[in-house]
Structure 1
Amino acid sequence: MTTTTNEPQPLLLQAKALQAWYGAAQILFDVHLDVRRGEVVALMGRNGAGKSTTLKTLMGLLSKRKGSIQFMGKDLSRTDPHDAARLGLGFVPEDRRVFTDLTVMENLEVGRQPARTWPDGTAAPVWTPERLFKLFPNLGEMRERPGGRMSGGEQQMLTVARTLMGNPFLVLLDEPSEGVAPVIVEQMAQMILELKEQGVSILLSEQNMHFAELVSDRAYVLERGQIRYQASMVELSANEEIRRAYLSV
């Protein structure tokens, strides 16, 4: 399933009036966003804009938060991260967090969850190690290698693959192009497009405009914890004023 038809796809994720704090410091202010089935949405902004905090808040990783979070018709506003994961919300953190003493295969097994079905009764994509090795050939060549003996880019791939073993409906992907080699960035872009073809939705936080243009349908632009602009990726690419105001370094 892709988003090329004229009919809007069903909403998977919808956040309204989202607020979040680290201790006494408020980071997010009334953030509204949504993601539809088979859609790639970029959450863009400079360092410190609140992108990673938004993803962590959606996943339930921040204890102090307010607002409404609806995912697959369920209320995630007060749930824990494992509740979101069981419902099919995947999360790939920026700092990767692979199990360094476990092999690639063992890392993947940690993420395994049962197959899922969309609300309309059709089967959702099912991910197995062999299928993931076609998506990430590098991982297939190092199945028995411990996570701690992999490069940063390889660990990034492994973290994505481990998340996909949970057969998620939607993946929260934090800074996928940050700090990895250009060849890995290219593979990440191809991976996102292939996931989209399978009907998996992705909400990614990103600063790299070129990367976002390659993979995204729509974009939200964050500044100081607030959504300042939202549009199609094509419209954002053409809007030099907005890019200069909120995205340029």
Structure 2
Amino acid sequence: MLQLDNIRAGYKGTEALHGVSMWVDAGTIVSVVGSNGAGKSTTVNTISRLVTTYGGRITFEGRDITGLGPAEVVDMGIIQVPEGRQLFGPLTVAENLRLGFHRQRRVKNREAAFRDKLDYIYDLFPRLKERAGQRAITLSGGEQQMVAIGRALMAEPRLLLLDEPSLGLAPLIVEKIFDVLSGLRAQGLTMLLVEQHADEALALADYGFVLSVGKVTVHGPGVELRSNAAVTSSYLGHAGAA
């Protein structure tokens, strides 16, 4: 579905990715792990066309998207849950979710379709239904992350990009987020997950890539990377994983 071939990208003329190649097959979760500054968020932002590309090619469903702008890739169904959530604080939960639905411009009976999709999000995150009329700025970090994921899902993504969805969250909330992602994968949604919790990310992933200083150092099935001695010692903080 998604292919990055020898991507060089960065900021203001300075490369942060040095020949990155990776792929995401339809219906799978691919995790990208690595230390701070490895280029994980830059990779996601490059796919979303928020970062300048200096070389290489990005294809999505067979189409070269390297030269497209952010709005164009969103229209193709590449939707990002950004690091830090980036909600509209003065708006309510329901209003933030409605913003995600604006991509569905060609849907007939839009209000009925919006309500159906909203019910789906509330089923995933029942707490958001309780907070529907509450301003986003007043929510806890975990609740804000649920809104950010819900907003992205309202856009009916073909590929969901998640940039550090567990950042700053309590362990129980992280577990809830990962349970939801597992359920979405079971429904057939394709995801690229950038995550600081490498162990959990690789446990969830069908396939994984390890980045270091803007380069892919190792890749393979998630279960194999979790038992790779070099990966576990550098990123997982233990000697191995069952």
> Would the TM-score normalized by the shorter structure come out above 0.5?
yes
- Aligned to 1:207, the other structure's residue is in SS state coil
Q: Which residue number in structure 1 is paired with residue 160 of structure 2?
A: 171
Instruction: Give the residue type in structure 2 aligned to 1:161.
Output: G
Per-residue CA deviations over 1:96-143 (Å, capped at 9, x if unaligned) read: 100111111111111113399xxxxxxxxxx70100111011111100
1:184 aligns with 2:173: yes
- Aligned to 2:88, the other structure's residue is in SS state coil
1:107 aligns with 2:67: no
Flag the 1:31–1:103 CA change in 2: closer, same or farther, 3 A: same
Relative to the length of structure 1, the TM-score reads 0.87
Q: Which residue number in structure 1 is paired with residue 78 of structure 2?
A: 89
Q: Which has the higher helix share?
A: 2
Larger deviation, residues 192-201 vs 208-217: 208-217
Q: How far does residue 186 in structure 1 lie from its aligned partner after superposition?
A: 0.9
Identity of aligned residues (%): 38
Structure 1 moving runs of 4+ over 6 Å? none
For 2:48 and 2:30, how far apart are their aligned partners in 1?
Answer: 16
Report if the CA contact (8 A) 1:99-1:147 is conserved: yes
Q: Which residue number in structure 2 is paired with residue 202 of structure 1?
A: 191
How many pairs were matched up? 229
Q: How far does residue 245 in structure 1 lie from its aligned partner after superposition?
A: 4.1
- Aligned to 1:111, the other structure's residue is in SS state helix
Q: Which residue number in structure 1 is paired with residue 13 of structure 2?
A: 24
Q: How far does residue 246 in structure 1 lie from its aligned partner after superposition?
A: 5.5
Q: How far does residue 195 in structure 1 lie from its aligned partner after superposition?
A: 0.9
Q: Which residue number in structure 1 is paired with residue 112 of structure 2?
A: none
Q: How far does residue 172 in structure 1 lie from its aligned partner after superposition?
A: 0.7
Q: Mapping of 1:38-117 within 5 angstroms?
A: 38-112=27-101, 113-114=103-104
Report if the CA contact (8 A) 1:59-1:89 is conserved: yes
For 2:234 and 2:91, how far apart are their aligned partners in 1?
Answer: 44
Aligned alpha-carbon RMSD (Å): 1.9
For 1:110 and 1:229, how far apart are their aligned partners in 2?
Answer: 38
Per-residue CA deviations over 1:165-213 (Å, capped at 9, x if unaligned) read: 1100111100111111112101111111111011111101112133213
Instruction: Give the residue type in structure 1 aligned to 2:200.
Output: F
Q: Which residue number in structure 2 is paired with residue 147 of structure 1?
A: 136
Unpaired stretches in structure 2, ≥5 consecutive residues: 107-115
Unpaired stretches in structure 1, ≥5 consecutive residues: 1-11, 117-126
Instruction: Give the residue type in structure 2 aligned to 1:222.
Output: L
